[in-house]
Amino acid sequence: MTAANSNAEMTAPGKLLCLIRHGQGKHNPRPSLGFLPGVLRCDAPLTHKGRKQARAISEGMSTLPFELVVVSPLSRTIETATEVFGSGNEPPRVLCALMCERCIAPADQGTALSELRSKHPHIEAWSGMAHMAERFWPKRSSRLSSAEHDMQERIELFKHWLLARPEACIALVGHSAFFRSMTQQPKLGNCKALWCELQSDGTVRVCSPLPPPPGATTPD
């Protein structure tokens, strides 16, 4: 990064972010052990309950002044964003591979981009794919420390990317470990949301006085 770019970033206005974790995925732990095969399945999708969770917050989210919705390109986040905001492109949608979850299980691996286009054809209306590799997700690691290090590097790049964008109010549809590392806050439940301010120096501050979106704090 050049000194000019760094100075521009330091003076850029902050961003108001609404972090939305995906709905219940087939890999997420549940009282029954039926989720275990989902952990071993690449790119785990939402469960029926996960889709219902996303639809439950859709009405409230649709009234909020989002200028952009940024989505991790894993199936469970694409499906969540589609249930919450619809399959169209208003507000504009961007797929961003920097938001992928830390990759420690097959469920955290993605679907090859060419196949993802066929699996979710409506994402052709969304932007971001031109900047994605065919295998866009991080290399899977059995060492948690390696996966965490990779994720932290991506978080820093992601914050720089957000600060360089023109939009001021942005929804992020992503993953629990990614958001937890980004905010240093407790793990979000499925389809729960957290409002934050990304400040011009890259600091993330939780906006506790701001009420969360409707449905964001209801118990599981």
Q: Which residues of the chain have pLDDT under 50?
A: 1-11, 38, 212-220
Which pLDDT belongs to residue 105?
A: 83
How confident is the model over 18-54, as pLDDT tens digits?
999 999 998 775 555 555 554 567 898 999 999 999 9
Domain ranges in the chain are: 3-206
Q: Is 105 helix (H, G, I), strand (E, B) or coil?
A: coil
Alpha-carbon distance 137 to 76, whole Å? 14
Q: 98 in the Ramachandran plot: left (φ > 0), alpha (ψ -120 to 50) or beta?
A: alpha
Q: What is the pTM of this model?
A: 0.85
Q: Which CATH superfamily is domain 3-206 in?
A: Phosphoglycerate mutase-like (3.40.50.1240)
Residue 214: how many other CB atoms lie within 10 Å: 16
